[in-house]
Amino acid sequence: MPSTRSNAPQQTNDELELPPGHEPSRVIRCRAEGAFSNAGLRNDVIREALEKSLCALLDTHEPGGAWRKILKPGDILGVKLNRSGQTQIGTSDAVTTALVKSLESAGWSPQQVVLIEAPQGLAETLGTLPMTEGFERSATDFGSGQDELALVLRQVSALINIPYLKTHRIAGLSGCLKNVTYGLIRHPARFHAANCSPFPADLYSLPSFRDKCVLHLMDALRVVFDGGPEVVAGTVHDAGMLLVGRDPVSVDAAGYMLINSVRVRERLPELGPLSSVIPYLADAHRKGLGVAALQGIDLRDV
């Protein structure tokens, strides 16, 4: 599978140190050429981009082999989407369809897939399992707070996380770490103090999240580059990209770089240093949940 290492990131973050002997955290950046057409998004192009990214990430020659590296035959797989901005961004149907069809070709039935925060009617169209609704009766302590976890976390044995890439007026960035944690607790609005720091990192430390997340697939086909997480006219750029990795912190850091490149194109100032703009991501790095130091990310273009 052809892939190339990207040039070294222009942004640096000297405040975040890498442990001795650190292995670079691989993130695949794939441009889905031709994904946008006059007739709408092309599922075939998005599926090809997804499968090429997966093969490059996991060093395999075919998608089935890649899926078998991260999933077990009997897994019930939760696919965590993002409800916020779905109508305006309009890419969730195509990305989710590509994912489910790829899994089906590799031997996983749609009846082993649970869609979480999916667009209306998509689960019925794809034939996936109904999601267990509701939250646990008692709160889980995650260090910096307590909240009830979504019952669907008990229903599934593995999670694929599909966030959008959006700026966020409070948190700095809405991506992998925030999507998979805040979207699966009862009261996410309670945890926005101090730029949301350190809540997403502490939540992701829980086995319900960390042990079940097998893949982070950032939908950057359309990027909200300013004023997010709300989606308004003039703040969305058709980047046509997927960012794929197993480390949510590194995928978010790669998303931070992509947003800055879009902002330069749009003649806006770049976001500041990652550790100050997205402090919860720096928290996750320091807790050993992933790599946010840009010099420690093996970013490969496919």
CATH at 236 = 3.40.50
18 within some domain: no
Distances (CA, A) of 122 to 81, 128, 138, 232: 12, 9, 31, 24
12 within some domain: no
Model pLDDT, residue 12:
46
6 within some domain: no
7 within some domain: no
Give the SS3 label for residue 230. Answer: coil
14 within some domain: no
Question: How far does the chain reach from its first CA to its final CA, in angstroms?
Answer: 8
181 within some domain: yes
> Which structural domain range is residue 95 located in?
23-301
Model pLDDT, residue 21:
76
Distances (CA, A) of 265 to 28, 60, 260: 22, 35, 9
Q: What is the dihedral of CA 119, 86, 31, 255, to 10 degrees?
A: -120
13 within some domain: no
81 within some domain: yes
Structural domain tally of the chain? 1
| pTM recorded for the entire structure | 0.94
Model pLDDT, residue 7:
41
Mean pLDDT by 10 residues, the chain (302 residues): 48 67 92 87 95 98 97 98 95 97 98 97 98 98 98 98 98 98 98 97 98 98 96 94 98 98 97 96 96 94 94
Model pLDDT, residue 90:
94
